[in-house]
Structures are given as C-alpha cells and as structure tokens.
Structure 1
Amino acid sequence: MTRSRAGTPRWRSTRWVAVAALGAMAALAGAGPASAAEADLSGGTLTWGFKASFRTYVSGGNGSPPIAASNGASINADGTFAFPATGGSYDPTTGTGTARYGGTIVFSYPAHFFTITLANPAVELADGAVQLKADVELVSTAAEPVQVEQATIATLTGSPGQDGATVVGTDLAAVLTAEGASAFNGFYAAGETLDPVSFTFSTGGEEPTVPTVGVSPAAGVEPAGAVITVTGSGFDPEANGAAGIYVSFGPKVDNHWTNASVLQVTKWVSRDNLPTDARDTLNTDGTFQTTLPISALYTDRNGAEVDCTAVQCYVITFAARGSADRSQDTFTPVTFGTPAGGGTDQRITATVRGGPLTLGVAGDSVTLPAVGNGEVASGALNSASVADLRGTNAGWSLVGQVTDFVSAGGDVIAADNLGWVPTAAAETDPLAGVPAVVTPGSAAEPGAGLGSARALCTSAAGASAGSFTCGAQLNLGVPPAAPAGDYTATLTLTLS
C-alpha cells in the first residue's frame, strides 16, 4: 500500500473527507483461507449500504455519475448495493470458511479530489468470528494513491444462521478494525461503527437446482411471426439482490449478458414485477411463465439483419442487469417452419436518431405558508420531469442547492435552514425493455439542509433510460431571532 504524508491544514481537511469515507466503505470483505473439510459454495448475495451519510455526501457531488455499479454489482432501490456470490468454501461442521462475492462500486467526487473503487468483497468465518475483507483503491489528484487488496477491514457482530443448505447473516453490525484504520493512514479510527451487512451463500449440502426452460412451440414456428410460451423452473428469485432474469430471443453471441443489442425481444422476469408487455413475475419457488413475440427475420439494434432460418436462434435466460452470475444461463433452440400459404416477406427498416437528456419543471415559484419564529413552514417543490432519451443508459443525477433567504429589509435566513424530503418515480414504458430505476435523494433536515448541493434524485448507469418525475416536501425552519417580513431565495436544480 502506498501511504501519503499529511500536508497543509487545508489539505488535511480535504483528505479527511476522502479517507474517512473510504474507511467506512472498506468494511466489505475478501477471500481468506479454507479448511481441508470445506465444500464448494454456490449462489448467494452480499448486501450493504456502506454508510448512508457517505452515500448522501457523494450523491450530492459532481461525479458523472457520483455512484456507479459494474461487474455484477447492482444498486438496490434503497441505495444499498448487492454483490453476487462468485465462489468459496465452507465446512458446516465447524462453521468455518470463506464466501467470495463479485462486483465493483465506484464513488466519484472530482470537486473533492477523489475517486474510490470498492471491489470483490468476501466474508470469512473462523473460530466463531466473522470478518470482512475487500479490495479498495483511492485515486486522488491532491495526494499519493492508497490501495488495499483483500485486507481485513472490519469485524461483524452476530451469529449467521443456517436454513437447510443456505447460510444466512442478517443485518450484522460492522466495526472498522485496527488493520483497516492503519490501511487508511490512521485518518479513520478503529472501532468506528459502519452500516450493517447481510449475506447468504449455499453450502452445497443439497443438490443444486438447475434452471430448466420449456418453449411451446419450439419447432415449426411461423417465420412471419408468432407468440411462443416460455416456462421456467429452478431459477433463484433472491439471486443478485433479487434482480431477477432476462428472458430473450436471438442467436448465441459472446458475452450475451452485456451484448443484448443483438437480441430480438427481451422480457425482465423478477420476484417483484407485475406482468406487463415488457415484464413478468418470477415466483418464489423459482418458476415462471411468460410469452415472447418472435419472427425469423429481424434487424437488431446494431443495424445488422438476423435470419433465424440461416443461423440457430434460442430462447436465452440470464441474470438481469449485466450480472456476472452465469448460473441463470440457459439456451433453448427454436426452429422455424415454411411460411403459411406460401406468402412473401416484407422487411421493415427503421432509423433511430437518438435524443437528449432533458429537464422540465412544473413551475418557477413556491410560496410557503406564514409561520411564527421557531416554527417550520412546509410546502411542495414544483415537480421536475427528467427524460433520458440519449440511448446510452449512462446514468444521471439531479442536484439542488438554494441561496440564503433575504427580506426586503436585508435580513437573512441561512440557506441551510431549508431542508427537504425527496420523492422519485419512473414512468412505466412498455417499450423500454430494460426497466428504468430512479432513487430519491436522502432527506435533509432544516439547519443541515440545502446550503450545499444535495441530490434530489439519481438513476444509475444501466437503468437510466426513460422518463422520471422527482419532487420533494420543502421544510423551512424559521430562526427564533428572524425579523418579521417576506423572505425569498433561489433554488437551482442541475441535471448532469
């Protein structure tokens, strides 16, 4: 690890922000030694929010996006993160072993001189203790870099339980270790309480369930177009943070889980979905039934023509949202028959020009009710509409900041006296394919409010295409010493 020396008092303050936050996140864990009696692990998920206050701090910054997930990690609706199991081993007789999880989370705040990357967490169990390890890297434009690979960063308090062949740890308290504090040059104190951690993994004590798919009809399908029925069993509705699976149709290609542009049609099937044209439900027992409209000839999103009578096409299932988990992959071949009635085909070509990332607001003024000194005036922020039509699914962030409130007589109420409670919703779009996801920003209390930039709502890369509505309840705390009068301020929303 490269260590940096403390600089001037001003830099030390900035460094504290970056490294203290890094310490909070580093309590995810990495691989450790396995005992000779351990069995291979299969399946499972690690879920953690690192530290809610840190997520709020980074989300209000100028990263593009401030927080991004990749390599199988995903962002949950509540802002926490899910990492899929990638392997490991465990001895159920002694309760010792290591469960490894995959994925990467990147926290970016260029204005505060840092990018933090967290990757490959793991949980190590030995002698009744549970430890967390991780790869953590800090890249800064104002100091030497810090890099930690699979160091023991934190300990967890609580006893994981076992449900059949699955080991479950739920909301285990996480505390930074001395080794973790040392890894961050002592800027973050050992014993600091971090956000709780939950994890699951299968011990392999039971025969693993194999995903199985049936297609009807699977042969002799009308080339001009038909609706086929797809049934599945043996899928894991809780895998990868319950993200579910994609059920698609098209040819086999390399890295099919990130190369969906070659597929003709895709449905998202997950535990929490209700049936629509683009979605369906994955039952709690791992079964599903859905339909796909397919044809033998189509033009993919790369502009290439695909002929499923010349190349073999399949009903393909795989873990949703670009997950590295390949345990949900299946390929069921579909063949086409002779066109009914000897008819002719007509090939249709459409050109997509792409579009902008736009912001619209329902109004330009908000009047809060009159209140007395020491009270809170509340009202609704004019709703903001965000449309991401760029075709890149690159993610976006909508951030707000307010000026001081000033009366006609020059009296001032500080900007931080205005707090808010954000709300956010994604509009349902049957044409979307991959569903859009938006996350409201964290609530800010009067007195610690919008004097600095705070996120109203964000949408992470991979789920940002579509239309969204974001709003908030505004809460202005009036100081006891504020002179009577009408006060005005300007709240600026910035979309990036």
Structure 2
Amino acid sequence: MVMFKSGAVRHRSMRWAAVLALGASAALVGAGPASAAEADITGGSLTWGFKSSFRNYVKTGNGNPPIAVSNGATVNTDGTFTFPSTGGTRDAGGGATSATYGGTVVFSYPAHFFTITLANPTVAISGGTAALKADVDLVTTESEPVSVKQATIATLTVSGSNPATSGNTVTGSNIAAVLTSQGATAFNGFYTAGESLDPVSFTFSTGGATPAEPTVTVTPSHGLDPAGATITVRGAGFDPDANNAAGIYVSFGPRVDEHWANAGVLQVTKWVNKTNEPTDARDRMAADGSFNTTLPISAVYTDRKGNQVDCTQVQCYVITFAARGSADRSQDTFIPITFTRTGGGGGTAQQRITSTVTGGPLTLSVAGSGVELPAVGKGEYAKAPLNPATVADLRGIGTGWSLVGQVSDFASAGGVIAANSLGWSPTATAVVDPIAGSSGVVTPGAAAAPGAGLGEARALCTAAAGASNGIFTCGAELNLGVPASAAAGDYVATLTLTLS
C-alpha cells in the first residue's frame, strides 16, 4: 500500500506538498505464503467467446486465419474458447479469488486494419463483485497501438449460488458479463461500455494433498542397439485431470526450444491419458497418475521436416509433456537415452549425474518507507521516483507474471484530487544472475500521463511466459498534476501494487 500525504501549507498559501509511504498491509498477490484460509488453485478451465456477433464478423474477413488459438487455448464446437488453468488463489473464508488461466486468441481482419490479441484471462472475485481480466494487444493502422496487461474487460454478475462450491471445486455457469470502459478502449471501440458480452463459465479446484512431482524411469536407458530397440517407460506422480484430462505425450528425440510446439523433430510419440484404449499410438494413465508403456526407437531417423537426426551425435531423451499444446509445464520430464557406438576401436564410458532443484516462490518487496513529492502550486506538476519494487520469480516454471498499480482519489480536509491526476513513467531491469548470466526478460509498463493516470490498474512491469524466471527491479517516475481548482491542504491517497 502506498500512502500519499500532502505537507502543511508553508510560506505561500498556494503551495502544497505530497508524501508517499509504503504501508505494512500491502495487498500483494503471490507475495508470500497463503493465509490459513487461502488455498492455491491447482486445476480447472474457463470458457468464453468474448461476443458471438464479433466472432461472426471477424470470420467473414481476410485474416489467415481470421481467428487463431495458441498456448493451450482451444476452440469449442460453438465457436467459444476454452482456456486451461494456470493457478491462482482462493480465500475459502471470504471468497476472494484470483483464478488465472492460460492461452491466446487472435482476431485478425487485415482488410479492416486490425489485429486483436486476447490472452491469459483471470477471474477476480472480491467482496461480492467479480471481474474478468485479460492481456489485450491491439494493432491497427487507424490509431495508436494498445497493449494492456490484465485489463479489466468485463464485470461479472455473481450471486450466492453462482459460482457454486462443491468440496474443493468451484464452478461458475453462464455468468453474465458486461463490457467495461477499459475493455471498450482495448477493443478499439467496437462496442461501448455497458454492452453485454458472451456469458462466462469457469471451474477451478483448490486444496487437497500437494500433488506429487512427476517421475519417469526408462528401461533400458543406456547402451541401446543403434539399429533399434523397444524401451519401457514408467511414470508416476502425473495429474490425470490436468488440462481438462487431456493427458500427456510420451516422446523420444532431442530436446529443442519450445519442445511442446515442435513435435516434428521427435521420432515417436505416444498419447497417454485416463480414458485412452491402448494402441500403438495411445496408452492409458491410471487414476493415481501412473502409467506403463513402450516406445520403439532407433539411433538414427528422419524427422517430419526431412532432417536426419543421429542420437549417437546429439543427446536424445524420453520426453513427457502436457498434451494438445498446453502451456502447462508441470508435466515436463527429460530422461537421457544413449546408444552403443558402432565402428572400430575406442570406446566410451558414461556416468549419469542427477540433481534436484527445488522451486521457490513468486515474491514482491519494495525498498524504502516513503517518497516525498516536492511542493508545487496549482496547475503545476510534482515529480519524484517511486520506491523500487523487486520481483523475484523463483518458481522455475516460467509461467509469467505482471505487477500492476492503481491509486485511490487524493483526499484532504478541503477537497479531492482525482486518482487519474497521478501518472507515471515505468522502468524495469533484470538483475544479473552471477551463475547463469542474465535473468529472464522484463518489460516496463506503458507511461500514463496525469489526467489519464493510475485511477485504473496499469502495468508497472511484466514478464512473459517462458522468460519470467529470475529477479527484476521495477520503478517509475511519479508525476502528479495538480488541477487549478484544487484546494490547498494536506492530501492522502492509497496506491496498491499487485503481483500476479
């Protein structure tokens, strides 16, 4: 929590000052261990179509394709989209919820000069009110581009019975959604604030025992005949219900960047889930998350792009990962496989070295206890740096995060200054890791000018999925514009930083 307090009227009656201080009750999502009533969200999905009339309009356009999904999002038969759970928390006592989901939908209509990207929706519930947030990027030749992280797109109408709770599972069914002013801006004014959007349905599960970490053993795993061998792959600790029970792929081949989206380099893949009937290409996962299957492999093969892969020259692995292109990386494992080299003379000896790296938390800390803005007169600007915020993403799963800020109105005994009078110019840097060089990639939020400032939640800094691990410093130059109509006096406001 950031407190703004104006200084007393000093030598001139038309001059005043503002003080910014960090309180001990800061509202930080993911900043530390959950409270006694707060539980981590461990699975679920969200289904939404934005607005059916908009989808039908975009489908008539010349996008290639007009509507595309990626990063785990899927298209349903009715044209709506399903996004897999990526976590979040729920307070079972008060009902406060931040349920996050992954996946990306792109609406493209080049003939009408726009491309809109909608990603990573979040259902936020607090105090009997609910909202749907998402990352929105708008590219158009008709106006300046828009890029907003976790914009509040819609308000949701929740009641005492919807969403409903059954055990550790919460389900919201066809919840009415209404476009917000921020959502209208992010979608280029296609619709005005207050219009009805498609209803939202979601589910998520919390609590229960901590899921086991996936483990895999391969027999045999070394000294294989390069001409070909059948290996047995046994797994345990997988989640058969994750990602809408899509299951996992069990594959063989080299490890490449974004392996879940580059399966063409793999020699063989078997789909394993809890409902499959065993075939040459499929197998079944038990209710406890275990499986036992086989893969026929050889040292040299031609991948789907026509390239020859030689696993005696490059390291190949038995690889498991979430099925259907899911963004869930918790099902990933890599077991190295070696073959006996052929040819005259020489020889090799190998030792398998293993190590366990434990995951850490996603935390936020802020330096200093206060920021003082200089005294200024009416119609002037007061500038000072925000106390630097440090975000440490030590989870090791690279799912991305965002740090946003929003301020309340400034209040004094003599009047009010609107929250949007406070703007900022964010900065962000990655802290160098002395062991492995640079950390992930952090992006500062867009600058917000006084008058169109922090009355709405705005990104201070963000890190995208796949590049969010590490330690980062985020700051901003604060800029408070004092309206000419402001009364002289001491003002106070609250700025909340939220990490999610």
Q: TM-score range by the shorter chain?
A: 0.5 to 0.7
- Identity rate of aligned residues, in percent? 69
Question: Is 1:98 matched with 2:95?
Answer: no
1:304–1:109 CA distance, 2 compared to 1 (3 A): closer
Cα separation, 2, equivalents of 1:90 and 1:274: 36
Q: Which has the higher strand share?
A: 2
Match of 1:173 in 2: 176
Cα separation, 1, equivalents of 2:190 and 2:298: 60
1:163–1:109 CA distance, 2 compared to 1 (3 A): same
TM-score by length of 2: 0.53
Cα separation, 2, equivalents of 1:254 and 1:241: 25
Match of 2:226 in 1: 223
1:56–1:186 CA distance, 2 compared to 1 (3 A): closer
On the 8 A contact 1:34/1:96 being kept in 2, the answer is no
Cα separation, 2, equivalents of 1:65 and 1:272: 32
1:176–1:222 CA distance, 2 compared to 1 (3 A): same
On the 8 A contact 1:249/1:313 being kept in 2, the answer is yes
Cα separation, 1, equivalents of 2:320 and 2:88: 25
The equivalent position to 1:256 in structure 2, one of 259, 262, 276, is: 259
Match of 1:82 in 2: 82
Cα separation, 1, equivalents of 2:119 and 2:81: 12
Cα separation, 1, equivalents of 2:244 and 2:141: 34
2:179 aligned partner, one-letter code: L
Cα separation, 1, equivalents of 2:330 and 2:338: 25
The equivalent position to 1:313 in structure 2, one of 313, 316, 319, is: 316
- Compute the displacement of 1:328 (Å): 1.0
- Compute the displacement of 1:40 (Å): 4.4
Question: Is 1:62 matched with 2:65?
Answer: no
Match of 1:131 in 2: 131
Match of 1:114 in 2: 114
On the 8 A contact 2:260/2:325 being kept in 1, the answer is yes
1:98–1:112 CA distance, 2 compared to 1 (3 A): same
Cα separation, 1, equivalents of 2:217 and 2:166: 30
Describe the superposition over 1:154-204 as per-residue Cα deviations: whole angstroms up to 9, x where unpaired.
122343344554443343332324553466576534443322323334435
Match of 2:333 in 1: 330
TM-score by length of 1: 0.54
- Compute the displacement of 1:39 (Å): 4.7
Question: Is 1:213 matched with 2:216?
Answer: yes
- Compute the displacement of 1:69 (Å): 1.4
Aligned alpha-carbon RMSD (Å)? 3.4
Cα separation, 2, equivalents of 1:298 and 1:225: 10
Cα separation, 2, equivalents of 1:214 and 1:147: 44
Match of 1:291 in 2: 294
2:150 aligned partner, one-letter code: Q
Cα separation, 1, equivalents of 2:52 and 2:76: 13
Question: Is 1:278 matched with 2:292?
Answer: no
On the 8 A contact 2:136/2:186 being kept in 1, the answer is no
Match of 1:366 in 2: none
On the 8 A contact 1:47/1:197 being kept in 2, the answer is yes
1:147–1:304 CA distance, 2 compared to 1 (3 A): closer
Extract unaligned runs of 5+ from structure 2.
1-26, 343-500
Aligned pairs (5 A) from 1:320-359? 320-336=323-339
On the 8 A contact 1:45/1:239 being kept in 2, the answer is no
After superposing on structure 2, the runs of 4+ consecutive aligned residues of structure 1 that deviate more than 6 Å are none
Cα separation, 2, equivalents of 1:125 and 1:99: 9
Q: Secondary structure at the match of 1:257?
A: helix
Deviates more, 1:98-107 or 1:43-52: 43-52
1:255 aligned partner, one-letter code: E
Q: Secondary structure at the match of 2:183?
A: helix
| Greater RCO structure (CA 8 Å; 6+ sep) | 2
Cα separation, 2, equivalents of 1:246 and 1:183: 37
Cα separation, 1, equivalents of 2:169 and 2:43: 9
